[in-house]
Amino acid sequence: MTLWTAQEIAAATGGTASADFAVSGVAFDSREVGSGDLFVAMSGEATDGHRFLDQAFGQGAAGALVSNPTDHPHVRVEDSFRALQDLARASRARTSATIIGVTGSVGKTSAKEALYAALERGWRGAVHRSVKSYNNHTGVPLSLARMPRDMRAGVFEMGMNHAGELSALTAMVRPHIAIITAIAPAHTEFFSDESAIADAKGEIFQGLQPGGTAIIPYDSPHRDRLIAAARPYADRIVTFGFDPAADVRAVEAMRGTRGGSFVTAKLGDKELNFTLSQPGRHWVSNALAVLAAVDAAGGDLGLAGLALAELGGLAGRGARFRATNGALVIDESYNANPASMRATLAVLAEEPGRHVAVLGEMRELGEDSADYHAGLAEPIVAARVERALLVGESMAPLAAALEGRVDFVHVADAKAAHEALAGFIAPDDVVLIKGSNGVGLSRVVAALRGDTATGGA
């Protein structure tokens, strides 16, 4: 299927095509280039994508977007990053799809994947989404540029760690529906307080198209602030949560026999009973936001409920597997902040068996970092953790708070964490692994899977 022709790329970017070619995909990482792709050769601080043109074409690239001369089929522009943004805008301009933007301090990737699954269940092959966590100034335009022209819906995750970033992204995405999953302490190093985080997340509403819908967490202490941010741009504001006053609310949420939840949800005069495969109150909240978006997009709520029942955990964000010795591992290694730490420890608390927690430090928390880390002591105790492995220098305040209350080991890095864990866990244990991505706990996860090539052993 042709995604872009050389002439379309040239018209969108103001560039010059060296030859006629057609591409079926777009990539800016040469390692991800596949057959038929357009390789966007961008120059960055660390490296220059033009160095990898031969590799990209060796892997099957059909053309390239370049700012330097090359003998390969290409469209040449002055600035390849700006050209990628232009291509993204052209993709957005040509589509008639319902566009949904998702942001939040926690849960945005999980909610994006759940929403994609819920819409795809009814609109097979006609729903596009951003992959992985491509949610920044390069990932969002890449995801837009990859969107086929004949989609019915597109779901785009948008992230930020500074004020003003989301306003730029949402101006490019121009969503019909904008979701904020939750507001919580994250990237607090760059914000004066949590209200400032709410203001920065609220920028997503600035890109709403006429007739657009804003979806807001009712139970958030920043609800009124978010509603005020949405009101100038949204034709309709929908709240979700557990409070009876929420527009989309959980009337009942009970733990299921297989670890998930059985939920009864009300959406105005509609009621939906569904099973949610993923455990935890935070996942029920995500599911309510997803249902609100499906309803706003005109999707099938019944099919959405079936999709939520079948939703698997994402690698690094709740995926579960059995370690080589049989222990159950909950992989939350991709990211962490105080809210998500508490949420996943609450999930661990409900699991049968001996509880082991491998917890990496939480980064970008600014001057309150010590208090945020020490504040995890009570959730750890409540989760009945029998041994905690605390990873990273910033975990020192938590170690002090746990002294005499929980058996723990404080280590410097992921490699040391795996060494401390080896030989300790038993087949009936439940092991939670969670920390900021930069800590590298994914290596511990890989080692427990038996992947010694990437593990921490």
pLDDT the model gives residue 312? 80
User: Could you report the per-residue pLDDT of 388-406, keeping only the tens digit for each?
Assistant: 999 999 999 999 999 999 9
pLDDT the model gives residue 191? 75
pLDDT the model gives residue 454? 43
User: Predicted confidence band at 234 (pLDDT cuts at 50, 70, 90)?
Assistant: very high
Q: How far apart are CA 389 and CA 209, in angstroms?
A: 47
pLDDT at position 237 over 80: yes
* Gyration radius of the chain's alpha carbons: 23
pLDDT the model gives residue 455? 41
Residue 22's identity, in one-letter code, is: A
pLDDT the model gives residue 446? 93
Range with top average pLDDT, 206-215, 303-312, 315-324:
206-215
Domain boundaries, the chain: 4-83, 95-310, 319-449
Q: Contact at 8 Å (CB) between 211 and 176? A: yes
pLDDT the model gives residue 188? 60
pLDDT at position 452 over 70: no
CATH superfamily entry for domain 319-449 = Mur ligase, C-terminal domain (3.90.190.20)
- Domain 95-310 matching CATH 3.40.1190.10: the answer reads yes
For 27, 29, 82, 290, 436, the CA distances from 40, given in Å and listed in that order, are 6, 8, 11, 33, 29
Residue ranges of the binding site for ATP: 104-110
Neighbours of 29 (CB within 10 A): 14
- Domain 4-83 matching CATH 3.40.1390.10: the answer reads yes
Q: How far apart are CA 360 and CA 337, in angstroms?
A: 10
H or E stretch including 454? none
Q: Contact at 8 Å (CB) between 359 and 395? A: yes
Q: Contact at 8 Å (CB) between 136 and 161? A: no
Q: Contact at 8 Å (CB) between 177 and 98? A: yes
User: Predicted confidence band at 255 (pLDDT cuts at 50, 70, 90)?
Assistant: confident
Average pLDDT, the chain: 93
pLDDT the model gives residue 189? 67
Overall pTM surpassing 0.95 (yes/no): no
Q: Contact at 8 Å (CB) between 215 and 292? A: yes
- Quote the percentage of the chain above a pLDDT of 70: 97
Checking 15-22 for CB contacts under 8 A at 24+ apart, the result is 15/65, 15/75, 15/76, 15/77, 15/83, 16/75, 16/76, 17/74, 17/75, 18/73, 18/74, 18/75, 18/76, 19/63, 19/73, 19/74, 21/62, 21/63, 21/73, 22/62
pLDDT the model gives residue 457? 31
User: Could you report the per-residue pLDDT of 196-209, keeping only the tens digit for each?
Assistant: 999 999 999 999 99
Residue ranges of the binding site: 104-110
Residue 380's identity, in one-letter code, is: I
pLDDT at position 453 over 70: no
